Amino acid sequence: MDYLMGIDVGTTGVKVLLIDKNGNVVSKDTQEYPLYTPKPGWAEQNPEDWWNATVKGIKNVINNINPGDIKGIGLSGQMHGLVVLDCKFKVLRPSILWCDQRTVKQCEYITKKVGYAKLMELVCNPALTGFTAGKILWVRDNEPEIYKKIYKILLPKDYIRFKLTNVFATEVSDASGMLLLDIRKRRWSEDILKILNLSKDLLPDCFESEDVTGVVTKEVSKITGLKEGTPVVGGGGDQASSAIGCGIVESGIISITIGTSGVVFAFSDEVKLDKLGRIHTFCHSVRNKWHTMGVMLSAGGSLKWFKDNLSKEEIEEAKKKKVDPYDVMLKEVEKIKPGAENLIFLPYLAGERTPHLDPYARGVFFGLGIYHKKSHLIRSILEGVSFGLRDSIEIMKILKIPIRQVRVTGGGARSLVWLQILADICNLEMVTVNVSEGAAFGVALLAGVGTRVYSDIKQVCRNVIKITNKIKPDLRNVKIYDEYYKMYKRMYLNLKKEFKMLSELK
């Protein structure tokens, strides 16, 4: 039997997944590791923790198979993280992660130095604190002794690639989030590197996602049990890989992922650029294709915040019944009418990316009355997050991105009531699929294409990924929500200055 392996280097842990050539999950393992916050707004991890977790995960997953039957390995990982190595290939400092916010000054510098219009022309995205380029400049500005020693700059998954293969390489989808890649030409931007005074020699070679970038070394074979010479393909950033994993590989199919954050992801045959920078334009993990992506920071995270802080009774009930606390929380929500009796929630608990690019925005319950119960608040959270996801869809419509099907994944996809709210608010049919393994599954499929187990990523996705449920919008609710959505948008505009002023209060 032929097998394919996917390795996803996430923020909370490494997931190692083994599938057969028919797309069936054979085994999987997750190993967790810590996240460090040495200062407010900082987020770091030790790359060696990723590697140690990967080795354990691989050993557990291949325990009952012949490693020689593994035809290829795909890598995915959290995007934007900065890993810096010296000339002896030693990690110089902890990795600065995607959610780290220390680079505000560097991003302002990049925008001023390059110019906003030219930045959008060259790399199709504004300078945001999450992107890698600002982190590189932060090290140069604040840790010059470390910067002088840098031999190579890698992204998180590409550090694992180096450990597996002794090859410095990345691929276009993950590299798109560095702010250093020419998105149209799918190669490093000589212009940006020159303007920012960064040497191209610091960066790894950049491949397409399905390309074989190296093979497992003899040393790693001894450590992990993998067969020496097993091919390792480019893989992808976590969002592009997750999109592959639910079949977003052709025009007209988009995905909504409701995890801690919320992501709206759309396939594109060509570069679709929002000149205002409200949504990202990146290279897709499908060869010579692109994608647009809207990101909201507190999607499922908003509901988790409510659970952790205001749902003690529901948590206790869930323990007694041995069920998920969210199931208890949501059981009364369906009884509440659309609009939660004139209660609107702004889901900006950690600021917001799409469409506002506003780190100062904060969460709001608007219209709270004495007649509102906890179930009203919970429904308003589901609706507020859905309004935020609609923001991304509306921008995609402006860019004339076709939408004929929306595939919903993540924890939010398990709630039928949330799926119905989302369908009604977006006035689009929502569907779920039979695969829920995310990015690790997507890069396992890419490994199959790269090693010719499969001939084409579109065909294998059609064969393996199937629709399991369809939720159509209720047109009566669509009209109601259209009015609430107009107010939702006005509320942010009315509060924008106040959010900034609030942040400045001592």
CATH code at 127? 3.30.420.40
pLDDT at position 506 is 73
Angstrom distance (rounded) from CA 277 to CA 132:
17
> 221 and 197, same structural domain?
yes
One digit per residue, the tens of pLDDT, for the chain of length 506 reads: 899 999 999 999 999 999 999 999 999 999 999 999 999 889 999 999 999 999 999 999 999 899 999 999 999 999 999 999 999 999 999 999 998 889 999 999 999 999 999 999 999 999 999 899 999 999 999 999 999 999 999 999 999 999 999 999 999 999 999 999 999 999 999 999 999 999 999 999 999 999 999 999 999 999 999 999 999 999 999 999 999 999 999 999 999 999 889 999 999 999 999 999 999 999 999 999 999 999 998 999 999 999 999 999 999 999 999 999 999 999 989 999 999 999 999 999 988 999 999 989 999 999 999 999 999 999 999 999 999 999 999 999 999 999 999 999 988 999 999 999 999 999 999 999 999 899 999 999 999 999 999 999 999 999 999 999 999 999 999 999 999 999 999 999 999 999 999 989 97
Residues 6+ apart with CB under 8 A from 125: 119, 131, 176, 179, 183, 277, 280, 281, 282
Tell whether the torsion through CA atoms of 175, 178, 181 and 183 is positive or negative.
Answer: positive
CA nearest to 206, candidates 248, 165, 158 = 158
> 314 and 239, same structural domain?
no
Whether 158 is a known active-site residue: answer no
> 477 and 461, same structural domain?
no
Contact 11, 99 (CB under 8 A): yes
Question: Encoding tokens for residue 349?
Answer: 């608990």
pLDDT at position 393 is 98
Task: Find where tokens 């012949």 sit.
Answer: 66
pLDDT at position 350 is 86
Positions of E strands within 78-171: 83-85, 95-96, 152-154, 169-171
Active-site option among 238, 274, 391, 424: 238
pLDDT at position 115 is 96
> 381 and 445, same structural domain?
no
Which ranges in 332-408 belong to alpha helices (H)? 374-398
Is residue 505 a part of any domain in this protein?
Answer: no
> 330 and 239, same structural domain?
no
Is residue 270 a part of any domain in this protein?
Answer: no
> 460 and 429, same structural domain?
no
Residue 204 per-residue DSSP state: P
Question: Encoding tokens for residue 485?
Answer: 């959505």
> 156 and 39, same structural domain?
yes
Q: Which residues pair with 232 in a beta bridge?
A: 73, 214
CA nearest to 177, candidates 105, 238, 243 = 238
DSSP three-state, residue 92: coil
Contact 419, 211 (CB under 8 A): no
pLDDT at position 40 is 85
Is residue 506 a part of any domain in this protein?
Answer: no
Q: What b/e readout covers 154-163, taking b as 16+ CB neighbours within 10 angstroms? A: bbbbbbbbbb
pLDDT at position 260 is 86
> 51 and 200, same structural domain?
yes
Is residue 264 a part of any domain in this protein?
Answer: no
Q: What b/e readout covers 258-297, taking b as 16+ CB neighbours within 10 angstroms? A: bbbbbbbbbbbeeebbbeebbbbbbbbbbeebbbbbbbbb
The domain of 189 spans 3-246+436-465
Q: For the whole model, what pTM was predicted?
A: 0.92
Residue 352 per-residue DSSP state: B
Strands 403-409 and 252-258: parallel
- The number of distinct structural domains making up the chain is 2
> 203 and 115, same structural domain?
yes
Count of C-beta atoms within a 10 Å radius of residue 72:
26
Angstrom distance (rounded) from CA 417 to CA 333:
8
pLDDT at position 185 is 97
Torsion of CA 246, 17, 236, 139, to 10 degrees: 130
Q: How far apart are the first and last CA of the chain?
A: 64
> 336 and 239, same structural domain?
no
149-to-85, 87, 93, 106 alpha-carbon distances in Å: 8, 7, 11, 20
> 242 and 307, same structural domain?
no
Q: Which residues pair with 14 in a beta bridge?
A: 9, 31
> 92 and 165, same structural domain?
yes
DSSP per-residue letters across 206-255: EE-TTSEEEE--HHHHHHH-PPTT-EEE--EEHHHHHHHHTT--STEEEE
Angstrom distance (rounded) from CA 454 to CA 364:
49
pLDDT at position 99 is 87
448-to-4, 73, 74 alpha-carbon distances in Å: 6, 8, 9
Question: Encoding tokens for residue 245?
Answer: 């994993």
Residues 6+ apart with CB under 8 A from 378: 303, 306, 329, 330, 332, 333
Q: Which residues pair with 365 in a beta bridge?
A: 345
